[in-house]
């Protein structure tokens, strides 16, 4: 029996079933083919209006969504924190109600507050696609990571996936954990003790204090960007020490399986969490992730649009 998508929003992978995740991945495979043609555009969302509301700065996710929307033939309104009326003291909800009054169909939202997309989906009739909300959730990033893993490894179930870095503040890590666990992967997280909370053991993730142990049996290594402001907030002493203790370099690569995938959601701090030679090396799939992101976002927008009445 074919699975039929029924949700008007994509808020987090926590909310999705295994079947729903697979539905997005399978749909994305067909959209990836579209991107490989000469004519890369389909009329699927012709006449639909999508609002990209980026309350928090973003370059790659915004560009990826915009291109996905253009390739689906949607009409696009771009709003960001600088140009929107938030500066004039309008609430997020009022801004969105105005957008809804323009008969927009879907809002793609990036926001610094966890749960902001959930809040909007409750209050509005438009479809809501989460493009990252604080440290809570970044479902399309995790879907493109999982899509890339499945494409490269042929499966997700049973794989050992290590996520390394600032787990505490990472929406990418959280969404990956939910998605990977639902598809039957074994997830290990590693990094500085201040940034890798033991609480994740409660959902079935292995918390590893020793980086080498986390890397040794990994089929996939997903590295997270380490942010300098965490140093200032006292989570670790310096990026230099971070690179030495938790960075992936030619030394640590000795412990990594030769066919393990090296992934990174970008942008990479070269020489901190990941050495250039490895970021650009044969095991890296970082640019494929970007390519697949487009297909995944086209699939998500297509599925969500199909459930708007």
Partner 1 sequence: MNESEKTLLLDAGKIAGLIDSLADRILEEFPPDQAAQLALIGIQSSGVPLARRLVRAIREKCGAAPEVGTLDISMYRDDIGTRKSLPVIRETEIPFNIDGRVIILTDGVIQSGRSIRAALDAITGYGRPGKIRLAVLIDRGMREYPIAPDYTGMKLQVPGEYRVNSEWCEINEADAVYQVPRTAYTKQA
Partner 2 sequence: MKNDRCCILKGARVIDPVSGTDDVRDVCWKNGILAEPGSISEQDADVLNLQGYVVCPGFIDMHVHLRQPGRTDAETIRTGTMAAAAGGFTSIVAMPNTNPPADNAGAIQYLKDYAAREGVVHVLPCGALSKGLEGKEMAPVGSLKAAGVAALSDDGKCIQNHELMRHLVEYASQFQLPVLDHCEDSVLASGGVMHEGYWSVLLGMKGMASAAEEIIVARNIILARMANWKVHMQHLSCRESVELVRAARKKGIPVSAEATPHHIALTDVEIKRFDTNYKMNPPLRSEEDRLAVIEGLRDGTITVIATDHAPHTATAKLVEFDDAPFGIIGLETAVPVTLTELYHKGILSLPELVSKFTKGPADVLGLPLGTLTPGRPADITVLDPDTEHVIDKNNFYSKSRNTPFDGYHAKGRTAATFVDGKCVFSILPENTAN
Tell me whether residue 54 or residue 302 sits nearer to partner 1 (CB atom).
Answer: 302
Is residue 60 part of the annotated active site? The answer reads yes
Contact of residue 114 among partner 1, partner 2, none (CB under 5-8 Å per partner type) = partner 2
Shortest gap between Cβ of 103 and partner 1 (angstroms)? 13
Name which of 74 and 128 has its Cβ closer to partner 2.
128
DSSP string covering 76-124? EEEEETTTSGGGGT--HHHHHHHHHHTT--EEEEEESSTTHHHHHHHH-
In the block, which residue shows the tokens 């490895």? 278
Q: Cβ closer to partner 1: 189 or 305?
A: 305
Beta strands 160-164 and 75-80, pairing class: unpaired
42 binds, among partner 2, partner 1, none (CB under 5 to 8 A by kind): partner 1
- Reading phi first (left if > 0) and then psi (alpha if -120 to 50, else beta), residue 226 is in beta
Instruction: Based on the residue annotation, tell me whether 88 is a catalytic residue of this protein.
Output: yes
Q: Which strands make up the sheet holding 220-223, listed edge to edge?
A: 206-208, 186-190, 160-164, 220-223, 261-263
Q: Is 27 a catalytic residue?
A: no
Two tokens at 61? 């996710």
Residue 209 structure tokens: 């204090």
Least distance from partner 1 to the Cβ atom of residue 25, Å = 11
Q: Which helix (H) or strand (E) holds 222?
A: strand 220-223
Options 8, 110, 111, 174, the catalytic residue: 110
- Selected catalytic residue, list 27, 61, 95, 148: 61
134 binds partner 2 (CB under 8 A): yes
Q: Which of 27, 160, 186, 252 binds partner 1 (CB under 8 A)?
A: 27
Among 95, 118, 188, 269, binds partner 2 (CB under 8 A): 118
Q: Pick from 209, 164, 204, 208: which is nearest to 184 by CA?
A: 204
Does the active-site annotation cover 41? Answer: no
Where does this chain bind partner 1 (CB under 8 A)?
2-6, 23, 26-27, 29-31, 33-34, 37-39, 41-46, 48, 72, 105, 302-303, 305-309
């Amino acid at each position: 029996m074919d699975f039929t998508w029924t949700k008007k929003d994509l808020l987090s992978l926590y909310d999705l079933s295994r079947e729903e995740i697979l539905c997005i991945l399978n749909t994305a495979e067909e959209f990836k083919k579209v991107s490989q043609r000469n004519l890369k555009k389909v009329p699927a969302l012709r006449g639909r209006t999508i609002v990209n509301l980026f309350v928090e700065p973003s370059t790659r996710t915004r560009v990826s969504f915009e291109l996905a929307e253009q390739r689906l033939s949607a009409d696009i309104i771009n709003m960001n924190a600088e140009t929107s009326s938030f500066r004039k003291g309008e609430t997020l909800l009022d801004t969105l109600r105005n957008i809804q009054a323009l008969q927009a169909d879907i809002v793609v939202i990036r926001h610094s507050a966890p749960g902001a997309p959930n809040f909007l989906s409750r209050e509005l009739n438009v479809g809501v696609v989460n493009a990252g909300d604080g440290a809570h959730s970044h479902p399309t990033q995790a879907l493109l990571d999982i899509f890339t893993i499945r494409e490269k490894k042929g499966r997700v179930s049973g794989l050992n996936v290590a996520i390394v870095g600032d787990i505490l503040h990472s929406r990418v890590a959280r969404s990956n954990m939910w998605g990977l666990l639902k598809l039957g992967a074994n997830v290990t997280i590693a990094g500085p003790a201040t940034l890798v909370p033991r609480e994740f053991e409660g959902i079935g993730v292995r918390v590893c204090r020793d980086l080498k142990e986390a890397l040794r049996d990994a089929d996939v290594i997903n590295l997270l960007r380490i942010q300098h402001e965490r140093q200032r907030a006292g989570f670790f002493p310096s990026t230099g020490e971070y690179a030495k203790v938790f960075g992936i370099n030619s030394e640590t690569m000795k412990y990594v399986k030769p066919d393990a995938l090296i992934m990174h959601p970008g942008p990479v701090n070269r020489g901190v969490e990941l050495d250039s030679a490895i970021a650009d090396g044969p095991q890296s799939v970082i640019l494929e992730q970007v390519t697949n992101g487009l297909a995944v976002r086209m699939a998500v927008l297509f599925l969500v649009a199909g459930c708007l009445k």
